[in-house]
């Protein structure tokens, strides 16, 4: 049996970033034997010092074949770890540092980055979900974001849309979760008016497996367009996805990515649904973590 591919996963404590790296690591583990170690990101000052000295503060660990990270706070730590212990770096975003510093950059198409030998374009952010076979048309999930530089948040409008959806689908068992960006006034308004009609969970109350388990079972998922990571998770499990209506602040990279999903028929907007267009499952399967893992395995580890 081949020795496992050692992966160091640099973490910054942000759940969204860790779901992205978890998705890639899990997908790699389905293709070849892996041994994973989580390495907390160093502070910027400590990472710079480590990078300059070539000494990285980790003990009792095998040298990595791959160093994976997501989030700007992980980048210097990744490079410091590579200088001290070797391995190839994989960053799951368009990094703030020059892309040539990393062996592979997995960059969402909507970022508008030019292709390069070390750049692999992705459809949205990677995630840890897979196509689900557990979905029920009688189960629905509503995922709310909040204040964002990309969309104008209108709490009362969102609350009215949510109430309308729940009211028009009385046979569906609904769950709803907010995010750390959801204004308290919006959460309170929804809780007051819907507390008896749906399961209402805040991020602080939700166990780590709450969202993945609900996503796997939900036949339909409604998402605010600012919640990009949750939007792609819902599409990856194969749910029928509806977009709650928010106005973009500008035609930036996030809004362009969401609009492209709509153009491809992957999502249905709330106004379209209310006018009679039904939600539908995505016409194409989306699993970017698996696709990227295959790319890495075929080019870097063909013998594992």
Do 122 and 192 sit in the same domain of this protein?
A: no
Range of the domain at 244: 136-274
Do 92 and 167 sit in the same domain of this protein?
A: no
Cα 234 to Cα 57, 135, 191, 222, 249: the distances in Å are: 38, 11, 23, 9, 24
Do 103 and 223 sit in the same domain of this protein?
A: no
Determine if residue 238 is left, alpha or beta; phi over 0 gives left, psi from -120 to 50 gives alpha, anything else beta. left
Angle at 120 between CA 114 and CA 125, to 5 degrees: 105
Show the tokens assigned to 173.
Answer: 């068992």
Do 117 and 54 sit in the same domain of this protein?
A: yes
Residue 120 placed within a domain: yes
For residue 247, count other CB atoms closer than 10 A to its CB: 11
Rg (CA), the chain: 20
d(CA 161, CA 167): 10
d(CA 253, CA 258): 9
Residue 281 placed within a domain: no
Do 83 and 212 sit in the same domain of this protein?
A: no
pLDDT at 159: 94
- Helices within 4-145 (DSSP H only): 15-29, 44-53, 75-85
pLDDT at 1: 53
Report helix, strand or coil for 80: helix
Show the tokens assigned to 290.
Answer: 């698996």
* pTM recorded for the entire structure: 0.88
Do 163 and 121 sit in the same domain of this protein?
A: no
Do 120 and 224 sit in the same domain of this protein?
A: no
Residue 230 placed within a domain: yes
Angle at 168 between CA 166 and CA 174, to 5 degrees: 25
How many domains does one find in the chain? 2
Do 142 and 268 sit in the same domain of this protein?
A: yes
Do 217 and 253 sit in the same domain of this protein?
A: yes
Residue 58 placed within a domain: yes
Q: Which long-range contacts link 43-50 to residues 24+ away (Cβ below 8 Å)?
A: 44/73, 44/76, 47/76, 47/77, 47/79, 47/80, 48/76, 48/80, 50/77, 50/80, 50/81, 50/84
d(CA 146, CA 53): 42
Residue 28 placed within a domain: yes
Do 158 and 236 sit in the same domain of this protein?
A: yes
Residue 279 placed within a domain: no
Report helix, strand or coil for 303: coil
CATH label of the domain that carries residue 263: 3.40.50.2000
- pLDDT tens, the chain, 304 aa long: 578 999 999 999 988 899 999 999 999 999 999 999 999 999 999 999 999 999 998 877 789 999 999 999 999 999 999 999 999 999 999 999 999 999 999 999 888 888 899 999 999 889 999 999 999 999 999 999 999 999 999 999 999 999 999 999 999 999 999 998 999 999 999 888 876 778 999 888 888 789 999 999 999 999 999 998 899 999 999 999 999 999 999 778 889 889 999 999 999 999 999 999 999 999 988 999 999 999 999 999 998 7
pLDDT at 195: 67
Do 202 and 111 sit in the same domain of this protein?
A: no
Residue 60 placed within a domain: yes
Residue 154 placed within a domain: yes
């Amino acid at each position: 049996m081949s020795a496992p591919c050692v992966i160091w996963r640099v973490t910054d404590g942000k759940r969204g970033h860790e779901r992205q790296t978890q998705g890639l690591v899990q997908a790699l583990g389905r293709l070849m034997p892996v041994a994973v170690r989580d390495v907390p990101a160093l502070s910027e000052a400590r990472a710079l010092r480590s990078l300059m000295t070539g000494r990285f503060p980790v003990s009792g660990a095998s040298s990595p074949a791959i160093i994976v990270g997501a989030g700007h706070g992980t980048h210097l730590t990744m490079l410091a770890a590579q200088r001290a212990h070797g391995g190839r770096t994989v960053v799951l975003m368009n990094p703030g540092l020059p892309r040539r510093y990393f062996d592979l950059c997995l960059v969402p198409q909507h970022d508008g980055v030019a292709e390069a030998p070390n750049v692999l374009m992705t459809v949205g952010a990677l995630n840890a979900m897979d196509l689900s076979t557990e979905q029920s048309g009688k189960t629905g999930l509503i995922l709310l974001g909040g204040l964002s530089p990309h969309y104008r948040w209108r709490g009362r409008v969102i609350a009215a849309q949510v109430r309308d959806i729940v009211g028009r689908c009385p046979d569906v068992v609904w769950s709803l979760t907010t995010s750390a960006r959801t204004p308290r006034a919006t959460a309170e308004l929804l809780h007051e008016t819907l507390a008896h009609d749906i399961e209402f969970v805040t991020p602080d109350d939700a166990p780590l497996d709450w969202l993945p388990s609900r996503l796997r079972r939900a036949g339909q998922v409604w998402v605010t367009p600012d919640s990009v990571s949750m939007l792609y998770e819902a599409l990856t499990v194969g749910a029928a996805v509806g977009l709650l209506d928010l106005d973009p602040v500008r035609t930036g990279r996030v809004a362009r990515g969401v609009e492209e999903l709509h153009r491809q028929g992957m999502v249905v907007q709330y106004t379209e649904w209310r006018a009679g267009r039904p939600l539908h499952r995505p016409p194409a399967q989306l699993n970017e973590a698996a696709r990227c893992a295959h790319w890495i395995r075929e080019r870097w580890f063909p013998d594992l």
